[in-house]
Amino acid sequence: MATAAEPHTVLSNVAVVLNQVLEERGVDGRAVLDEAGIDYDDAANPDTRITLKQHQTLWRLAVERTGDPCLGLRVGQAFPPAALHGLGLGWLASTTLSTAFDRLIRYQRLLSTNAEFKWKESGDSYRLSGQPRIAGPDFEIAAADATLAVVMRLCRLTLSESVRPVSVCVQHDRQTCRAHYQAFYGCEVTFNAPNYSLEFDKALLAEALPGANPLLARINDQAVAEYLARFDQQDIATRVRQQLINALVDGQP
């Protein structure tokens, strides 16, 4: 679905999950996807990606149709790990949360080429921070809310439902959903922040995960690496074709 004129792309599974959430809310999910320029059958193909414009339009329409300013948080809570391709499954098989976060940083392009995640040590904690590379006036913060909530959900699925971050920062307006966000994260949440972040205690990140399986983790790492290799190859071919088309349009030999 993506073109060279729209360089940033997002894993299409987010559209499939949003469709399901919309249907559960009594909204015609496929009609919303169509309005955003997304074909559901294409999006259901795990190798497919959607453009950043389609992704942001879909989120805007979803928030409008449900009338739910907390939709991003709710979608993140419902997001199945397998919808994140091999990255989600590799996370579940990681030995510690620290190695799981390493996977997220290493393969973040799988989720979105527009997302920029950083993983930094700070005293007795580590902080995951993220912000979009492109955040124009049409940027829908619900998409970022969902991403952060997915990461938190993965932490709890792999270690314990009692996992709580040290601190959380979101760009979401504190005037809406404050109680929902603080109840979900289990700590004080900073709203209207310049970027998104989750901070965790170092000791928590070093705990052995009960479902650790190094072999499965490596298999899923390989699956993600192969996916990204295919994506990069297709992207190069698309850009070359677009350059040739532009040259012909401009009358260049």
Residues 201 and 169 in one domain: yes
> Measured between alpha carbons, how far is 161 from 103 in angstroms, rounded to an integer?
21
Output the CA torsion 149→153→159→162 (10° steps).
Answer: 80
Residues 88 and 172 in one domain: yes
Residues 6+ apart with CB under 8 A from 106: none
| Number of neighbouring beta carbons within 10 Å of residue 127 | 18
Point out the domain boundary residue: 67, 91, 123: 67
Residue at 232 is within a domain: no
CB 136 within 8 A of CB 212: no
What rounded mean pLDDT belongs to the chain?
89
Residues 9 and 117 in one domain: no
Q: Which pLDDT score, from 0 to 100, does residue 217 have?
A: 96
Residues 170 and 107 in one domain: yes
Residues 123 and 52 in one domain: no
> Measured between alpha carbons, how far is 57 from 55 in angstroms, rounded to an integer?
6
User: Which of these, 224, 47, 78, 222, lies nearest to 154 by C-alpha position?
Assistant: 78
Residues 63 and 104 in one domain: no
Residues 6+ apart with CB under 8 A from 72: 59, 63, 141, 142, 143, 144, 145, 146, 149, 172
Q: Which pLDDT score, from 0 to 100, does residue 235 have?
A: 56
Residue at 11 is within a domain: yes
Q: Token pair 């979401």 is at which residue?
A: 172
Residue at 224 is within a domain: no
Q: Which pLDDT score, from 0 to 100, does residue 35 have?
A: 98
Q: Which residues of the chain have pLDDT under 70?
A: 1-6, 136-137, 234-253
Domain with 94, as residue range(s), is 72-210
Q: Which pLDDT score, from 0 to 100, does residue 71 have?
A: 97
Q: Which pLDDT score, from 0 to 100, does residue 208 have?
A: 98
